[in-house]
Amino acid sequence: MRVVVGIPVFNEMGFIDMNVSNMLTIGFDDIVYLDDCSTDGSYEKLLEYSKKHSNIHVFKNGANSIACKTVNRWKTLAEFCRGFEPDWIMVRASDQEFSFRTKILLRPQLEFFLNNKPNVNVVCFPVVHLWRSKFWYRADKEWGYSAENPVSDCCWRGDSDWDFKGEFTKTGMHRGCHRPNYFGGKNICFLDVNFGLKDKPIVVLHYGLCSHDHIAKKLDFQMHVAEVIHGGNGFPMPSMLSSVIHWRNLNGYKIAHEFDMNLLPVKDIWYDEPPNKGDKPKVQSLYNVIHKYNIKAAEEYKDLFYKTFEF
């Protein structure tokens, strides 16, 4: 059985070492990186890793997929992954890693599905969004993020007739894991890879929101998307254009929203080391982050949440 993971990269220098180390540890047969014309040295660093590890393969888009609007980086990434003739193709982000028990549990589960459940062509994983800390994650009442819910369909059977259609796949904060939008008319059967496993130990950990700096970077990127694709409207995503004060809309992209939010400790089993007692992050407003994008919107945000959070 051959399992290939594909990872798109755009200016992710701060996560490259962590991601490469984790992907090598999990034991994928091939690790495919597609650089989207990074300018921070990400591409060059990945090339260095590819010289040291024969199963790391680095490709580069001819033009940034956001800027040119015609390059579907997810489709391109999938095509590169298919070139290694995998039984399973997995797509993950460069600011994510798998919990440490995945190494001994993932491959046996995928092999079982491959040999015994031919109707299962999409495998799902719980995704935990770490919130300003390595050991705490956010649980939003509206979306119910937790260890068990939701799951992200990020691993597809290599011989399934799935594809990313169209010239451009909308950018988002891993929402729906940029799922393929075409399955050739076949019936799709989703199955949680943790099915039957105690405590759901195979978990995707998302580090992109584990600090204010990372969140600011996410907002900066979404501003770039807005400038290039949506005509410079000044807001990260189209869903926010008509309702500045309704910052709950940000919740869908897992940034900045702090109303009706709980912080929960991650389970010790996900890490090699348990969290320290004093590692619980202080919940603060992102007023300063929002302020640099739009002063009026930042003040509205402050007025809306000042009773709950310290500024």
What pLDDT, in 10s, does the model give residues 189-232? 878 887 777 777 888 888 887 877 787 677 666 666 666 665 55
In a domain, 155, yes or no: yes
Task: Identify the CA nearest to 56 among candidates 22, 14, 88, 79.
Answer: 22
**Domain stop point among 206, 233, 254:** 206
> Residue 96: how many CB atoms within 10 A of its CB?
25
pLDDT digits (tens, 9 = 90+) for 247-269: 344 433 344 455 556 677 888 77
Alpha-helix runs per DSSP H in 95-211: 102-116
Q: Which of 8-17, 121-130, 223-232, 263-272 has the least mean pLDDT?
A: 223-232
Q: Are residues 255 and 146 in the same domain?
A: no
- The pLDDT score that the predictor gives to residue 285 is 52
Q: Are residues 288 and 148 in the same domain?
A: no
In a domain, 113, yes or no: yes
Which string of DSSP letters, residue by residue, matches 193-206? TTTT-TT----EEE
In a domain, 311, yes or no: no
In a domain, 28, yes or no: yes
Q: Are residues 201 and 223 in the same domain?
A: no
Count of domains for the chain: 2
How far apart are alpha carbons 192 and 123 in whole angstroms? Answer: 6
Q: Are residues 69 and 180 in the same domain?
A: yes
Task: Identify the CA nearest to 262 among candidates 96, 149, 173, 146.
Answer: 146
Whether pLDDT at 246 is above 60: no
Q: How far is CA 253 from CA 4, 119, 172, in A?
A: 27, 32, 7
Residue 219, both tokens: 């907002």
Q: Are residues 54 and 99 in the same domain?
A: yes
Q: Are residues 220 and 187 in the same domain?
A: no
Q: Are residues 48 and 133 in the same domain?
A: yes
In a domain, 310, yes or no: no
List the end-to-end C-alpha distance of the chain, in Å, as a whole number: 53
- The pLDDT score that the predictor gives to residue 151 is 65
Q: What is the mean pLDDT of residues 82-91?
A: 94
How sure is the predictor about 84, in pLDDT bands with cuts at 50, 70 and 90? very high
**Domain stop point among 144, 171, 206:** 206
Q: Are residues 53 and 181 in the same domain?
A: yes
- The pLDDT score that the predictor gives to residue 239 is 42
Whether pLDDT at 129 is above 50: yes
Whether pLDDT at 46 is above 70: yes
Q: Check: CB of residue 258 under 8 Å from CB of residue 308.
A: yes
Q: Are residues 104 and 241 in the same domain?
A: no
In a domain, 14, yes or no: yes
**Domain stop point among 146, 173, 206:** 206
Whether pLDDT at 68 is above 50: yes
Residue scoring higher pLDDT (30 or 188): 30
How far apart are alpha carbons 235 and 226 in whole angstroms? Answer: 6
Q: What is the mean pLDDT of residues 93-99?
A: 91
Q: Check: CB of residue 138 under 8 Å from CB of residue 261.
A: yes
Q: Are residues 53 and 186 in the same domain?
A: yes
Q: What is the dihedral of CA 59, 60, 66, 67, to 10 degrees?
A: -170
- The pLDDT score that the predictor gives to residue 295 is 74
State the residue range of the domain holding 143: 3-206
The domain that contains 133 carries what CATH number? 3.90.550.10
Q: Check: CB of residue 214 under 8 Å from CB of residue 220.
A: no
Q: Are residues 82 and 197 in the same domain?
A: yes
Q: Are residues 216 and 289 in the same domain?
A: yes
Entry pTM: 0.83
Max avg pLDDT among 41-45, 69-73, 197-201, 276-280: 41-45
